[in-house]
Structure 1
Amino acid sequence: MAEVSGVGKGSQQEVLRSIFERSGMCMAKLDNAFRLVEVNADFSGQFGCLPAELGGRCFVELLHADARTQVSRRLTRLLAAPGSRFTEPTVSFRRKDSTVFSGELTGFTVGGDRSDAECLMALICPEGGNRKDRAAATHRLVLTDIEARILEGVALGMSTVNLASMLYLSRGGIGYHVDTLMRKLKVKNRPALVSKAYSIGLIRPGWPPRVYPPRVYPE
């Protein structure tokens, strides 16, 4: 994979902001004590709350009692190994009205260095959503080398013009490959593309974004 330079924490935060606001996935940002620093509207809506109602609450408190110990352990291990990720296929959560729903929980770290994670990210895919599509994508999806490099660039927040310059392609060529990636992952925009790529394990957690090598075949 070609190295991409000149993209730092500011760009990372811009990408995360775009994913937060437009991906359509239930996402939350946690601090090192597992408190909710920020949640998007999809996340708060799933719990029957406004985003402001969840700010400062411990993420573990949103879990059914039976799931709290296991998830707490997974989050603690995540903090000890920045750049790693975990997925719990079925976790039970409690809404504001005390009703329970289940879903797949994915956690990964953002920012920091090898010894210190800046924050944790939690993605929830409620049952009845697109878990079957995601499972199928996890097992079957393979990218060409150029698709992988473009996906990494999109995850970095690079524009079509910058990607075209880096990869010696036309802007139309970049647009074609981005459209192909969105069709493969069954999403409608770039933030959703990046979010889903992370959630199904196509991109390794951490910064800069990198597609897992086994997911790539040469053209």
Structure 2
Amino acid sequence: MTDTMGARSAAVSVVLNAAGRAGESPSYLSVRQLDIIANSMFLSPADLCILTLDERLRVVDANSGACHMMGGVPPARIRGNRVTDWFHAEDRKDLAGRLDALVRGSAPRVSIEARLAGPPRVKSAVRIMAFPNEVPGDEVSRVVAVLRPYVSTDTRSRKNQTLVLSEIDMRIIEGIAAGVSTKELSTELYLSKQGVEYHVSSMLKKLDVPNRAALVSKAYVLGILNARHWPPRLVAS
């Protein structure tokens, strides 16, 4: 399950990088454009949930992922309602305050955890990342909100798994994540092509993943790669 969540997290990070010209904010792509990018990366509807909100925090638009997360309701059921109505009563005040600050311009972006309380009445924890909407021609939407399932991970387990990788291993992961070829990696790291392949095969076994894409995804989960940086970079130790 951790590997699956890691693959989703890495793919979603790429979509979020596409959403803004400077990190995570503001958004210069519409909900539909972000949805197309997500679909092209084979993300399921539950992986990327996007809402746009007006100045009163009412939902203007919602992608298929948001409808799925809200219990499979049609878009018409979501539009026009305050986004906070879909969250647990104990979390609404804090969420509304943070989003209001974003609308007023006193906060550049918002990142907060809250619990959904809509159908099917399961209080699922999600992370909400919201930033100003600056899509050309959209005068109604003020905020783009991205909702992702929030799952805590065992930091000790991540640290132990990271320790089995060498510095060369991690530099190879960084290169793979950035799309660097095996030949280029061998030149950069003073290894033969077979040497690079040996390190890759060894890492697949150590981290129990099936292929290079899954290896990169797990690197994000383990905190080896910085999910907020593009092109991918190792997290400074």
TM-score norm. by structure 2 comes to 0.47
Amino acid at match of 1:147: D
Q: Select 1:124's aligned residue among 138, 149, 174.
A: 149
Q: Is the 8 A contact 1:63 1:93 kept in 2?
A: yes
Alpha-carbon spacing, 1:39–1:169, altered in 2? closer, same or farther (3 Å): farther
- Report the CA distance shift for 1:63/1:53 in structure 2 as closer, same or farther (over 3 A): same
Aligned partners of 1:167, 1:32: CA distance in 2, in Å?
A: 48
The equivalent of 2:229 in structure 1 is 206
How far, CA to CA, are the matches of 1:195 and 1:51 in structure 2? 32
Q: CA deviation at 1:178?
A: 3.0
Instruction: Find the counterpart in structure 2 of residue 148 from structure 1.
Output: 170
Distance 1:56 1:180 in 2: 50
Aligned partner of 2:25 in structure 1 is: none
How far off is 1:86 after superposition? 6.4
| Pairwise CA RMSD | 5.1
Residue type of the partner of 2:91? Answer: A
Aligned to 1:163: 185
> Comparing 201-210 with 166-175, which one deviates more in the overlay?
166-175
Structure 1 gaps of 5+ residues are: 1-8, 110-118, 215-219
Q: Match for 1:139 among 156, 159, 164?
A: 159
Distance 1:80 1:44, change over 3 A: same
1:92 pairs, out of 112, 115, 123, with 115
Q: Which amino acid aligns with 2:166?
A: T
Which 10-residue stretch deviates more, 156-165 or 55-64? 55-64
The higher radius of gyration belongs to 2
Distance, in Å, in 2 between the alignment partners of 1:54 and 1:153 is 45
* % same residue: 26
Could you say which residue in structure 1 is the equivalent of 2:197? 175
The alignment partner of 2:124 has SS state of strand
Tell me, yes or no, if structure 1 residue 102 matches structure 2 residue 124. Answer: yes
Partner of 1:211, secondary structure, is coil
Q: Which residue in the other structure is 2:91 paired with?
A: 67
Matches within 5 A, 1:35-54: 48-49=71-72
Q: Would you say the 8 A contact 1:26–1:125 is kept in 2?
A: no
**Displacement after TM superposition at 1:192 (Å):** 3.5
Q: CA deviation at 1:203?
A: 2.0
Gaps of 5+ in 2: 1-13, 19-36, 132-143
Q: CA deviation at 1:87?
A: 7.8
Correspondences of 1:180-191 after superposition (within 5 Å)? 180-191=202-213
2:47 aligned with 1:26: yes
Name whichever structure is richer in strand by fraction. 1
Cα 1:38–1:208 change in 2 (3 A) is: farther
In the alignment, residue 93 of structure 1 is paired with which amino acid? L
* AA of the residue aligned to 1:211: L
Offset of 1:125 from its aligned partner? 4.5
Q: Quick one: distance in 1 between partners of 2:79 and 2:184?
A: 38
TM-aligned CA deviation for residue 148 of structure 1: 1.8
